[in-house]
């Protein structure tokens, strides 16, 4: 029971830090994100620094965790098996980028906005969930 409580607490703290980081960096502000993505207009490169910082931290953390037999919470690491670049991966990446470029939101910042009571964040999440269901529906219909 205590291990489950500690895992839940650590997940809460990680989520809280992630959300605060998104808010502080401006990643939950669609106008700022669209300014970053508008490289032909009034480009705002500040989010590139946020992304580079995130990549640096992740690079170091993954380097350490790859050498560990288990996590600090004594749980097993779940590393991905699939490494191939597939058509569904490319299509999903393109749709993700299209959606991000159209509205300036992606799932993480949308959840943060929804947590602040933003109607825009809630609407995004509703349609994101509809999109997920549609993909599941078509994948089950089209798979052999």
Q: What is the pTM of this model?
A: 0.79
What is the spatial distance between Cα 82 and Cα 9, in angstroms, rounded to a whole number?
A: 30
**96: which residues sit within 8 A by CB, 6+ positions away?**
106
Q: What is the pLDDT along the chain (144 residues), one digit of tens a residue?
A: 677 788 889 889 999 999 999 999 999 999 999 999 998 988 999 999 999 999 999 999 989 988 888 887 777 888 888 889 999 899 999 999 999 999 999 999 999 999 999 999 999 999 999 999 999 998 888 776
pLDDT recorded at residue 29 = 93
Give how many domains the chain has, as a whole number: 1
Q: Which domain holds residue 32?
A: 2-142
């Amino acid at each position: 029971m205590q291990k489950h409580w500690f895992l839940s607490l650590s997940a809460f703290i990680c989520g809280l830090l992630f959300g605060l980081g998104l808010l502080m960096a401006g990643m939950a502000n669609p106008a700022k994100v669209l300014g970053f993505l508008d490289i032909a207009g009034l480009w705002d490169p500040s989010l590139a620094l946020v992304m580079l910082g995130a990549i640096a931290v992740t690079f170091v953390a993954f380097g350490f965790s790859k050498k560990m037999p288990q996590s600090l919470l004594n749980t097993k690491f779940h590393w991905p098996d699939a490494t191939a670049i597939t058509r569904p991966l490319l299509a999903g990446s393109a749709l993700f980028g299209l959606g991000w470029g159209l509205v300036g939101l992606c799932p993480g910042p949308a959840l943060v906005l929804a947590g602040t009571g933003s109607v825009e964040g809630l609407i995004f999440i509703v349609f994101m969930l509809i999109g997920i269901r549609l993909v599941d529906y078509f994948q089950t219909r089209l798979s052999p």
